[in-house]
Amino acid sequence: MKLKWAFIRMPLLMIFVPSFLSAPNSSAQDQKAVSKLTIDGNTAVRFLFRRPNANYALPALIFRVADAGSPNWNAAPIDRYGRSAYISLSQMRSLIRQLDGDGIPWQVSSATESIEPFEKTPISENLLISIYAANGMATSTIPPKVFCKLLSQLNKVIEMKRAHWEFEYFRRGCGCQVPGYKSDAYLNDR
């Protein structure tokens, strides 16, 4: 009789224990999802490409949030961190939702970091995308074989005219084809 109960309990343990042990792992992964980042007016998304053997340093493109009518609304100032293009909060949320849904492998951390000057970042053939949020940060490295396609899919998300133009300028600087790009739409004061 005892032997019979042992055989019945073993399969139950084999079902229960693995599911119990795997539950914390999936929970930990969920906590590290891009969707768990707080997207607000201070959120920024940086695209950085420091191509090897380039004649010039392509500034990082940083999308930041601005309110309609603010001085930054249709601006794209450049500084040592990169070119800041301003978009609405709803566009920022759409951009991050699109990035999160494109199958990009993200490394998410609850630690927050400041954006470093783009010229101090290492040169690489890969595109680096970083999301800076109030409660953490997400980074991803995109290989050259796929980043032009990824960037073209994001093109429709950026609706602000100046920000859209800056995004297309950045894409061209990455060596991507950008159909319909008008290079003279804004003063190129780089």
pLDDT in tens, 132-181: 999 999 999 999 999 999 999 998 899 999 999 999 999 999 999 998 88
Note whether residue 189 is domain-resident.
Answer: no
Note whether residue 55 is domain-resident.
Answer: yes
Note whether residue 26 is domain-resident.
Answer: no
Per the structure block, which two tokens stand in for 19?
């599911």
> Most distant CA pair in the chain: distance in Å?
87
- Classify residue 111 by its DSSP letter: -
Going from the C-alpha of 103 to that of each of 8, 36, 107, 140, 146, the distances in angstroms are 42, 16, 13, 11, 12
pLDDT 10s digits, 78-107: 999 999 999 999 999 999 999 998 788 999
Number of structural domains the chain divides into: 1
Q: Are 87 and 157 in contact (CB under 8 A)?
A: no
Q: What is the pLDDT of residue 72?
A: 85
Give the residue-averaged pLDDT of 106-135: 91
Note whether residue 150 is domain-resident.
Answer: yes
Note whether residue 188 is domain-resident.
Answer: no
Note whether residue 12 is domain-resident.
Answer: no
Note whether residue 11 is domain-resident.
Answer: no
pLDDT 10s digits, 44-89: 999 999 887 767 778 999 999 998 888 888 889 999 999 999 999 9
Q: Show the domain range for 76.
A: 34-173
Note whether residue 25 is domain-resident.
Answer: no
- Classify residue 155 by its DSSP letter: G
Q: What is the pLDDT of residue 20?
A: 36
pLDDT at 122 over 90: no
pLDDT at 39 over 80: yes
Q: What is the pLDDT of residue 189?
A: 52
More confident position, 112 or 57: 112
